[in-house]
Amino acid sequence: TDIHYWIGNTSSQDEQGAAAIYVTQLDEYLGGSPVQHREVQGCESAKFKSYFKNGLIYKKGGVGSGFTHVETNMYSMQRLLHVKGTKHVTAREVNYCTRHLKSQFYYSEGSPSFILSVSDASGQLLVQEVATSPLTQDLLSSSDCYILDQGGSSVMVWKGKAASDEERRSALSRAVGFIKAKNYPSNTKVEVMSEGGESAMFKHLFKSWKEKGQTQGLGKTHSVGKIAKVDQVKFDVMELHAQPKLAAQERMVDDASGHIQVWRIENLELKEVNPSTYGQFYGGDCYLVLYTYNRANKPQYILYMWQGRHATQDEVTACAYQAVNLDNKYNGAPTQVRVVMGKEPRHFLAIFKGGLIIFEGGTGRPGVVNRDPGARLFQVRGTHEMNTKATEVPTRASSLNTNDVFLLKTDQNVFLWYGKGCSGDEREMGKAVADLLSEQDKQVVMEGQEPAAFWVALGGKAPYASDKRLEKEVAPHEPRLFECSNQTGRFLVTEVADFTQDDLDEDDVMLLDTWEEIFLWIGNSANQYETQESYSSAVEYLKTHPAGRDPGTPVSTVKQGYEPPTFTGWFNAWDAHKWSNLNNTNLNKKTGGGGGSYSAPGGPGNIKSHNQRMSSSISSAYVDQSPSRAKPSGMLHSEQLVKKPNQLPQGVDPEKREEYLTDAEFENLFGCTRDNFQRLPKWRQNDLKKKAGMF
């Protein structure tokens, strides 16, 4: 539940204070669970604007009172509206004599500079600094309230369940006082939430966030002494197909039984890898892995770009270039996934069936002799063939870990070391990997019973991680969607609140952050500049994220109409047929406002027109002033119009077929009146026309 209270620019301090009081009372009446949002005129949050699909109008005047005299609005008055916005349109009444209007758009996401605690434990209400970013959930105590300053761009208030009534009631006023003390703008956003009802934005500011009763993978996490183990359940492909949300959360499009092709970058060109060595990746190389699987009897593709830690910059660049070439051979259908060495996605592990082995350096090129390291140590992690990989680590005792299986390979021996904290399943997978690495007999070594030759190969005994640590859990952050566009003349990134599939704009690139992975959804009409800038923005977004995100987080490129379930699962009620007709049709949606191509301040690119959808939204929200529609001569039946363009009756404009329908047929076909249809955004009109077979 969300509660928004809106503050007009000319409202009094008494009115603003009264609004805050009523919000607090309403919050208490609802049990303290809603998230409170302080909205200031002209600086409303995207979530607030999303409630008003037809846009916002700021009118002069207000409610008359003993303190304020308000002139009655005169219908004969002429008004000038300053219209701005793309997804969410706003119109502000300005002086009629204004000579020039210029819209500006900004996006910023500052880093949280504090958490401040609000506590009355000492007998008086105190506000004191607690910590700086990156933040962790354990900093929050249920007995207190906290203020989080997001670099001055917004202020968030968190109220613990066990905080006193005075702390909870004063938290909001303290936040407003904090804004004044820091000399932040009066329109700084304020968001208030209670423990257990945190917003997605709040959780994203923390490096780790654990929900009550959290589960991990397909099994439930439970504690045994000091060790947390995960009950591993093998993936059921039918279950993944039936539950796209599960597929998205598990990052698994299928049961990994599809077809694999692997290429290595050699002399900046693609060279096929011998299938007998599939799964062996060297840190001095870059690889392309094409995975093909079927969904609804149609082939689907995932193109993984694996970048070795020691590969040259030329090889990394060539890997990306060759990925584009390969992508083009499949008509843009593959989902492209950048994989940084050591950060392999779960599905990438699964397709190699427990045979994924990562060598720290060297190359897999035939005929090249790698430097002989003498002895090599591999850490094996996984409980079955769907989640196992072996990673080469420094050959020294300090690399060992009591919770895992290690494989030590020398010229004379192969040792299979079992830590005390590993399970039977982990030991079995260790044996399987050992057989792949060497045909020699393996000597099993139990922790604490190592022979002298084992320590000699590691350079002697040394302390290593022997504490029974908790299993690392994946932070369950909620997904966030951003629109990346240069339709205003500058490249901008703006967040979309409460997103659905309809928010995916075919003219733009959309960035979906699921925390474990970043998706770049490329609309069919997005231009190349947007695509390039979106990728750069995604990388920068990870580097500068206030929660200290891993810069190696996979970044996947998804094309419109070819979305895998790992992407669609984050959207409720995904319509798989929404764009089915677009894959074989070259549609140009940049029409209806004189959109053209020119060099803008943000860089070259196609600047898309949005005047039509803005004006239609504003007119419907303010007053219907649309001129009467000139009907074409002679109405036609719908079955005559649902034909190919070259089969239409003579004189019919194929781009405006709907205008030849009778009013009754129009409403029956589109589910709305003509006037309401015209008020819809252009993309929505085209969507309805496609579904009706008239586009």
C-alpha distances (whole Å) from 347 to each of 259, 289, 385, 521, 545 are: 13, 12, 11, 19, 25
> Pairing mode, if any, of strands 154-159 and 2-7?
unpaired
For the chain, the average pLDDT equals: 75
- What pLDDT score was predicted for residue 307? 94
**Mean pLDDT highest for which of 319-328, 486-495, 578-587?**
319-328
Same domain (yes/no): 20, 121: yes
- Comparison of pLDDT for 405 and 151, the residue scoring more: 405
> For 127-154, what is each residue's pLDDT tens digit?
667 777 678 888 888 888 888 887 777 8
> For 163-199, what is each residue's pLDDT tens digit?
888 877 777 777 888 888 888 888 888 888 888 888 7
Q: Of 317-326, 511-520, 600-609, which range is least confident?
A: 600-609
Best CA proximity match to 115, nearest among 79, 82, 147, 150: 147
Structure tokens at 179: 């804004």
Q: Which amino acid, 299? A: P
**Mean pLDDT highest for which of 188-197, 314-323, 537-546, 636-645?**
314-323
**Mean pLDDT highest for which of 149-153, 239-243, 431-435, 679-683?**
431-435
- Comparison of pLDDT for 606 and 662, the residue scoring more: 662
Instruction: Report the CATH number that the domain containing residue 33 is assigned in CATH.
Output: 3.40.20.10
Q: Of 157-161, 213-217, 362-366, 668-672, which range is least confident?
A: 213-217
Task: Return the axis-axis angle of helices 682-691 and 611-622, rounded to nearest 10°.
Answer: 100
- Those residues whose C-beta lies under 8 Å from the C-beta of residue 365, and which sit 6 or more positions away, are 264, 266, 271, 285
- What pLDDT score was predicted for residue 81? 62
Neighbours of 545 (CB within 10 A): 21
Q: Which amino acid, 510? A: M
Structure tokens at 95: 């002086």
Best CA proximity match to 612, nearest among 682, 550, 542: 682
Structure tokens at 665: 């047929």
Task: Return the axis-axis angle of helices 165-181 and 13-29, rounded to nearest 10°.
Answer: 150
Same domain (yes/no): 263, 398: no
In a domain, 488, yes or no: yes
Best CA proximity match to 582, nearest among 487, 510, 683, 481: 683
Residues forming a β-bridge with 339: 306
298 class by beta-carbon count within 10 Å (0-12 exposed, 13-18 middle, 19+ buried): exposed
E strand map for 231-375? 259-266, 269-272, 280-282, 286-295, 298-307, 335-340, 356-359
Same domain (yes/no): 434, 510: no
Yes or no: say if 284 and 311 are a contact pair by the CB < 8 Å rule: yes
- CA distance linking residue 414 with residue 440, whole number of Å: 7
11 class by beta-carbon count within 10 Å (0-12 exposed, 13-18 middle, 19+ buried): middle
Structure tokens at 24: 């607090």
Report whether pLDDT(432) > 90: yes
Same domain (yes/no): 55, 137: yes
Q: Which phi and psi angles does 104 have, rounded to 5°?
A: -130, 145
- What pLDDT score was predicted for residue 65? 52
In a domain, 135, yes or no: yes
Same domain (yes/no): 428, 309: no
Report whether pLDDT(521) > 60: yes
- CA distance linking residue 651 with residue 648, whole number of Å: 8
> For 371-398, what is each residue's pLDDT tens digit?
888 899 999 999 888 889 999 989 999 8
- CA distance linking residue 251 with residue 243, whole number of Å: 12
**Residue 562, domain extent:** 480-569
Query: DSSP labels for 116-128?
Result: EEEE-TTSS-EEE
In a domain, 326, yes or no: yes
How many folded domains does the chain comprise? Answer: 5
DSSP state of 692: T
> For 565-614, what is each residue's pLDDT tens digit?
888 878 866 777 777 654 444 333 333 332 222 222 233 333 333 333 22
Report whether pLDDT(246) > 90: no
- CA distance linking residue 682 with residue 613, whole number of Å: 6
The model's pTM = 0.55
Based on its alpha-carbon atoms, the radius of gyration of the chain, rounded to whole angstroms, reads 30
In a domain, 304, yes or no: yes
Same domain (yes/no): 397, 533: no
- pLDDT band with cut points at 50, 70 and 90 for residue 346: confident
Same domain (yes/no): 198, 271: no
- CA distance linking residue 56 with residue 92, whole number of Å: 8
Report whether pLDDT(671) > 80: no
Report whether pLDDT(97) > 60: no
E strand map for 35-124? 35-40, 56-58, 80-84, 90-94, 114-119
Q: Of 100-104, 256-260, 469-473, 555-559, which range is least confident?
A: 100-104
Alpha helices in 214-342 (DSSP H): 237-242, 244-250, 313-329
Query: Which H or E run contains 408?
Result: strand 405-409
Query: DSSP labels for 140-190?
Result: --TTSEEEEE-TTSEEEEEE-TTS-HHHHHHHHHHHHHHHHHTT--TT-EE
Yes or no: say if 424 and 229 are a contact pair by the CB < 8 Å rule: no
In a domain, 214, yes or no: no
Q: Of 154-163, 266-275, 432-441, which range is least confident?
A: 154-163
- What pLDDT score was predicted for residue 389? 94
DSSP state of 206: B
Starting from the edge strand earliest in sequence, which strands make up the sheet with 189-194, in order? 2-7, 35-40, 189-194, 154-159, 145-149, 114-119, 126-131
Q: Which phi and psi angles does 107 have, rounded to 5°?
A: -135, 130
Domain final residue pick, 176, 208, 240: 208
- What pLDDT score was predicted for residue 600? 26
Q: Of 70-84, 167-181, 435-449, which range is least confident?
A: 70-84
- Comparison of pLDDT for 199 and 476, the residue scoring more: 199
Mean pLDDT, residues 233-261? 70
**Mean pLDDT highest for which of 133-142, 297-306, 487-496?**
297-306
Same domain (yes/no): 461, 484: no
Q: Is the dihedral of CA 284, 517, 546, 529 positive or negative?
A: positive
Chain length of the chain: 695
- Comparison of pLDDT for 83 and 233, the residue scoring more: 83
Same domain (yes/no): 134, 203: yes
Same domain (yes/no): 426, 341: no
Structure tokens at 527: 């231009």
The two counts, helices (H) then strands (E), for the chain are 17, 31
Structure tokens at 183: 């000399």
Report whether pLDDT(460) > 70: yes
Q: Which amino acid, 528? A: Q
Yes or no: say if 511 and 493 are a contact pair by the CB < 8 Å rule: yes
Q: How far is CA 675 from the centre of its chain?
A: 36
Domain final residue pick, 208, 226, 249: 208
Same domain (yes/no): 489, 461: no
- Those residues whose C-beta lies under 8 Å from the C-beta of residue 422, and which sit 6 or more positions away, are 403, 404, 405, 430
Domain final residue pick, 546, 569, 592: 569
In a domain, 291, yes or no: yes
In a domain, 163, yes or no: yes
Same domain (yes/no): 447, 561: no
**Mean pLDDT highest for which of 116-125, 531-540, 672-681?**
531-540
- What pLDDT score was predicted for residue 596? 26
In a domain, 245, yes or no: no
Neighbours of 106 (CB within 10 A): 9
